[in-house]
Structure 1
Amino acid sequence: MERNISLVSLLCFIIFNGCLVLEADAVKSQRSEKLKLIHRHSPELGHNPETTLGPPKNSEERLKQLVQSDKARLHAIKRRLGVVGKANDRVEFPFRSAADLGFGQYFVSLRMGTPAHTFTLLVDTGSCLTWLKCRYTCIDCSAAWYGRRFFSANESSSFKSIPCSSQECKTMDKASTLPNCPHPNAPCYYDYSYLDGLNVAGSYFNETVKFRFSNGRKKGLEMTMGCTDGLNNPKRFQEVDGILALGLDPLSFAVKAAHEFGGKFSFCLDNHWIVKSESSYLVFGKEDQVPNMQFTDLLTEESKMTSLYPIKVTGISINGTMLDIPSYVWDMTDKGAGGMIVDSGTTVTHLVEQAFDKVIAAFEPSLSMYNKTKGNLDYCFNAPPAEIFDESIIPRVAIHFEGGAKLEPAVDGYIFDDSKGVKCLGFVRVAWPEMNIMGNLLMQNHLWEFDLANKKVGFAPSKCMLD
């Protein structure tokens, strides 16, 4: 969804703006840093039967939840871009999906504070403020929060509030940083509003985040994030603790961490539809040598208006035949029309009508044996059960990028079970002028590398298994 104040799209239910800062004297290891990516079906996330975000009861409810969570991400994020990178360090964080909670995104487990505690954060490539549910300045926080945990600022010896009179406060997002400063040592407050009605409020702070290097060594780095002690719809976050922001913005976690660890980060999106306990990693720094990695340029110069990741598409082919889609559909304008965004926070791929209609027309001859029907997506059809459904009749899609790179997703990246006897094509039709958005289901089963120093995005097929 987008923020009212800056047209920002939303991860799952929300996208948050803000900034996260790494200390300039951060450790210079020759290793990288990983965060574990948590699968949406992972039992690690647990489930509170009293909450409203429990696992979908069936495939229809599941797809409906994913589609609803995508509706807020139909517009471009209108924010400036700016990226630098250096060094050859590498750090890793475990990374998993969590569809059992009804989210269409991925998660990391992050340890922070002194003593350190673990928090589960949504991974968002479309925002720049990392924040947690937090108790600090609120008078009665107990009534405000639902869920398993929150960050208790007063119990951490490394917590540092950012005063409203400080220069650091003045560098925060001006559209959302509140001007009130009752006394010099009062916290630097923010207040974010989103088009879906969600409102997030709190204060900025610095805190130590625990990084684990790939050689096993650990290091604490001080970062700036948001202590959210006010949320107008806390039930949305009963199962998760906040947001880890990876937006293409100079002050985001991704840009700052990549700056310290080799100018790049990467992650592998495992199969959304398969429940498994294995994880992959969100990696900051140089990834191990990956065969068949293809690259295309990030359009940071062409678009100064988004904190997401714009790339140049040259076309879409079906069974090897390029579709007759007008070239202007893939040209990003300074007003947010056209172009394509790679967005891990969107689940289903969104195509403007000129592209969507051509794709559907190319599919229809192969699906003519099935009757069209209503479903959660724009094109659904009656189909036999999975065990007898002939997947070989489904046309193969390829997305072609500038420079010759070509993404060939698996069929389950664009054919979804909607309900019993109903399947849908995994594309959403949006009106022109809008922006095309590549969702994470089309990206799954691939390793994605965001080379910020060289302004490139790379991808390669991968099983997304841990080392």
Structure 2
Amino acid sequence: MAASFSSSFSLIIFFTLLCLSNASPRLPTNLKLIPVTPHLQSSIPSFDQINAHDKSRLSYLDNLIKKTSVPIVSGRAFQQAGNYLVRANVGTPGQTLLMVMDTSNDAAWLPCSGCSGCSSQTLFTLEQSSTYKPLQCSAPQCRQAANWFCAPATSDCHFNMTYGGSSFDALLSLDSLGLAQDTLPGYAFGCLRTVTGTSIPAQGLLGLGRGPLSLLSQAGNLYQKTFSYCLPDLRATNFTGSLRLGTVGQPKRIKYTPLLANPRRPTLYYVNMTGIRVGKRFVDIPSSALAFNPATGAGTIFDSGTMVTRLVAPVYAAVRAEFLRRINLPVSSLGGFDTCFTQPIVPPTISFHFDGMFVTLPTENVVIHSSFGTTTCLAMAAAPDNVNSVVNVIASYQQQNHRVLYDVANSRLGVSREHCS
């Protein structure tokens, strides 16, 4: 009898282990990233377009201060140059929309039917979704939205926002959000009701920031507060990169730097930059120009929406001076860039050093060429003379062909080289 029981128990254990070994592991959630560029004929925006885009973007970052593998595609065929789009399915049945990926924003929003001022030809038709519902002011998500207010007649929860030089009013809503093979029911987002200005991403926006209405927060344990992206080179023939959600499929060999929390700008991904090297030489930078300071908002952030890296005045001056010394040719300016050359140059590498890691930029991430190839400029600029004058922004042009990993659960950010296109 004992032998029979032992044999049966062994068989149960065997078949249990067999079933476990045959269980399908969770597949990586990969989304294509599509870069948005203004014209199908040109591979990259003009210098003037880059400067105008970043001016609007930095104005948005200014307003963030508290005053009290999904594919990533480039939006070649769309407006809003400098952004990256992900394909999402919203509602039941799902309506396919391309949404701008934004690491410096929390709430998602969509151009919805009935919107006044929305410029997108593709709208989310909320009347066709059986799972759509507006949120009342009593909903907990309402208090999590920036600048929320109650509509007097309906008690619906609205929020408004300034984004660059534009603004919008949105109705906070719930519906299903589909990303690759994943479905997130009851996702809170803004349904745009009125839009003023032209700098609001027309296709909608998916917030990947650190706040309670961001994708990482609303997804709960599904993605374990982890994502990475690989931004494609705007000059590449294959114009897609990837957004990878969750811990599965993330690179194992990658260097990290700690993420820092700033209560004045809680959405943003701050890191501690310790120095910059041009070629083999560290440039002389005052430590105060790189220091993280929660009281003033000073420090360094990684941002997916700014196009070229912006360095605070003393940092940029030091980098520019060493870059000019290495090139030793007559310098000119063009379209907001003040370190340009009309003769062919061999630019030095530039390395950003952080606590625990450094990132050495290849030549294609250091300089940018004019549309006709007659002028080459250093693909960096000084921070604007406003609130952002204290913030160094590591921007998308310098991030291209790198895997940037945001491990919020463990409060760290990693970067490794990867061919993204």
- Alignment of structure 1 residues 12-91 onto 2, 5 Å: 30-40=26-36, 54-55=39-40, 62-74=46-58, 75=61, 77-79=64-66
Query: Does the CA contact (< 8 Å) of 2:142 and 2:172 recur in 1?
Result: no
The answer to whether structure 1 residue 298 and structure 2 residue 259 are counterparts is yes
The answer for the alignment partner of 1:221 in structure 2 is 185
Could you tell me how far 1:233 is from its partner in structure 2? 2.8
Greater helix share, structure number: 2
TM-score with structure 1 setting the length = 0.76
The answer for the alignment partner of 2:340 in structure 1 is 381
The answer for the alignment partner of 1:204 in structure 2 is 172
Could you tell me how far 1:352 is from its partner in structure 2? 0.8
The answer to whether structure 1 residue 436 and structure 2 residue 392 are counterparts is yes
Greater strand share, structure number: 2
Query: Does the CA contact (< 8 Å) of 2:112 and 2:192 recur in 1?
Result: yes
Q: Residue 233 and residue 289 in structure 1: after superposition, are their counterparts in 2 closer, same or farther (change >3 A)?
A: closer
- Which residues of structure 1 form unaligned runs of 5+? 1-28, 42-52, 81-91
> Aligned to 1:66, what secondary structure does the other structure show?
helix
CA–CA separation in structure 2 for the residues paired with 1:119 and 1:195: 22
Could you tell me how far 1:449 is from its partner in structure 2? 0.7
- Which residues of structure 2 form unaligned runs of 5+? 1-24
The answer for the alignment partner of 1:252 in structure 2 is 214
Could you tell me how far 1:70 is from its partner in structure 2? 0.7
The answer for the alignment partner of 1:132 in structure 2 is 110
Deviations 1:159-214 (A, max 9, x none): 111123x23354232x521234324xx42122223462x1211211100112434x
Could you tell me how far 1:283 is from its partner in structure 2? 1.5
Deviations 1:393-433 (A, max 9, x none): 31110000112x01011212121113542221111112585
The answer to whether structure 1 residue 400 and structure 2 residue 353 are counterparts is yes
CA–CA separation in structure 1 for the residues paired with 2:135 and 2:172: 6
The answer for the alignment partner of 2:286 in structure 1 is 326
Query: Does the CA contact (< 8 Å) of 2:56 and 2:199 recur in 1?
Result: no
Deviations 1:289-319 (A, max 9, x none): 536411000012x555331100001100011
CA–CA separation in structure 2 for the residues paired with 1:235 and 1:344: 16
Bigger shift: 409-418 or 123-132?
409-418
> Aligned to 1:193, what secondary structure does the other structure show?
strand
The answer to whether structure 1 residue 288 and structure 2 residue 261 are counterparts is no
> Aligned to 1:202, what secondary structure does the other structure show?
strand
Q: Residue 229 and residue 170 in structure 1: after superposition, are their counterparts in 2 closer, same or farther (change >3 A)?
A: closer
Count the aligned residue pairs.
389
Q: Residue 221 and residue 316 in structure 1: after superposition, are their counterparts in 2 closer, same or farther (change >3 A)?
A: same
Q: Residue 179 and residue 262 in structure 1: after superposition, are their counterparts in 2 closer, same or farther (change >3 A)?
A: closer
TM-score with structure 2 setting the length = 0.84
Give the superposed CA RMSD: 2.7
Could you tell me how far 1:121 is from its partner in structure 2? 0.8
The answer to whether structure 1 residue 359 and structure 2 residue 319 are counterparts is yes
- Alignment of structure 1 residues 127-276 onto 2, 5 Å: 127-135=105-113, 138=114, 141=115, 144-164=117-137, 166-168=138-140, 170-173=142-145, 175-183=146-154, 186-194=155-163, 196=165, 198-213=166-181, 218-233=182-197, 240-257=202-219, 259-276=221-238
CA–CA separation in structure 1 for the residues paired with 2:33 and 2:336: 27
Query: Does the CA contact (< 8 Å) of 1:266 and 1:287 recur in 2?
Result: no
Could you tell me how far 1:79 is from its partner in structure 2? 4.9
Deviations 1:244-279 (A, max 9, x none): 1111213211333364222311111121222324x3
Larger radius of gyration, structure 1 or 2?
A: 2
The answer to whether structure 1 residue 368 and structure 2 residue 328 are counterparts is yes
Query: Does the CA contact (< 8 Å) of 1:291 and 1:460 recur in 2?
Result: no
Letter in 1 for 2:143: T
The percentage of counterpart residues that share the same residue type is 23
